[in-house]
Amino acid sequence: MIELRQLTKRYGRTVAVDDLSCTVEPGIVTGFLGPNGAGKSTTMRILLGLDAPSSGAALVGGRRYATIDRPLREVGALLDATAVHGGRTARNHLRILARTNRIPATAVDAALDRVGLAQVAGRRVGGFSLGMKQRLGIAAALLGDPAVLVLDEPVNGLDPDGVRWIRQLLRGLAAEGRTVLLSSHLMSEMQLTADRVIIIGRGRLLADTTVAELTDRYAGAVLVRTPRPAELAAVLTGAGATVAAQPDGQLGVTGLSESAIGDLAAEHHLPLHGVARRDASLEEAYLRLTAESVQYGTPPPAPAPAGAVAPSTGKDAR
Ligand code: ADP
């Protein structure tokens, strides 16, 4: 488990992380998201003992990184896969890591096997592609069989097969009961990989919830087809919904369930030709949620274009 307790980090006048509190649970994959400059890297660096907090604490398995006796056995990390000595072979790179962390040498081949590098273990890392370096970085993270894994952009540089492989690996590691925290700017990939997401903006917590709940709240809409859209839109708006005409003539309705929409239509004798919940993307939800944080201090946004679904307020996402 990872716990952030009122974590704050200031660099001069910049507050990079601002009173951040949350828990990352074992057994699931948790995505760590936020716009550039939101404070993700700073949080991960503090978590891994590479930087000190100004106040508050970041705990791995209940302890600060600096007080952990054999860190690689508690937390595996992938921060920058290219930061490896190019002259060493993959196996030697891991052997040195194992020795300095008092991890048995037998763990090296097991880790190479797990990431699919067993065949190239004797080759120099300098000749590795970025994707192979990512795999080696993950092997290093897994070397100490840690209960907690922290991975910064692990799918960078991977081809589609590699991306799918890492998704399955991370889900498998979580299923083994490990705590898996990963950052990625690839929302579609995050939607497939993560169970929960922690979203920060300007150093503060914006959301700590399941992917399903987030997409439903911020991007969920019911698409309604009717031959009398203007009348139905008026009825639904009167009942508190937000209604936006879609380019294909349907109504995109937020704030009312499918059954409530059906009941209201029946009550007003308005025919319905279709009612369906739209598949919402994490990307859409994320953009809506973070818009407020990005726009803070800049001019207010232009009115939404015709056909757009109005964003919800996000008041209760905290
Ligand atoms: P993210 O990883 O979400 O893009 P960062 O944690 O890198 O965000 O940065 C958060 C904020 O802290 C940014 O405003 C960044 O400029 C600032 N920052 C990060 N590291 C330093 C540093 N070493 N010195 C000064 N400012 C920093």
**Could you write out the three-class secondary structure of 221-272?**
CEEEECCCHHHHHHHHHHCCCEEEECCCCCEEEECCCHHHHHHHHHHCCCCC
Question: Ligand 1 pocket, 67 CB below 6 A?
Answer: no
114-136: average pLDDT: 92
Residue minimizing CA distance to atom 20 of ligand 1: 42
Residue 111's nearest CA partner among 161, 69, 173 is 173
Provide the 3-class DSSP secondary structure of residue 212: helix
Name which residue leads in pLDDT, 221 or 48. 48
Q: State in Å: Cα 50 to ligand 1 middle.
A: 13
Q: How far apart are CA 42 and CA 50, in angstroms?
A: 9
* pLDDT tier, 316 (very low <50, low <70, confident <90, very high otherwise): very low
Q: State in Å: Cα 175 to ligand 1 middle.
A: 32
pLDDT, one tens digit per residue, over 207-230 is 999 998 888 777 778 999 999 999
Question: Ligand 1 pocket, 157 CB below 6 A?
Answer: no
| Mean of pLDDT over the chain | 88
Q: What is the pLDDT of residue 274?
A: 94
Ligand 1: which of 14, 32, 151, 293 to mutate, judged by most atoms within 8 Å of the beta carbon? 14
Q: What is the pLDDT of residue 259?
A: 93
Tokens of 261: 């929409």
Tokens of 232: 């139905």
Contacts of 306 (CB under 8 A, 6+ apart): 244, 245
Residue minimizing CA distance to atom 24 of ligand 1: 11
Is the pLDDT reported for residue 186 higher than 70? yes
How far out from the chain centre does Cα 309 lie? 24
**Residue-range domains of the chain with CATH:** 2-216 (3.40.50.300), 218-277 (3.30.70)
Question: Ligand 1 pocket, 8 CB below 6 A?
Answer: no
Question: Ligand 1 pocket, 82 CB below 6 A?
Answer: no
* pLDDT tier, 156 (very low <50, low <70, confident <90, very high otherwise): confident
278-294: average pLDDT: 78
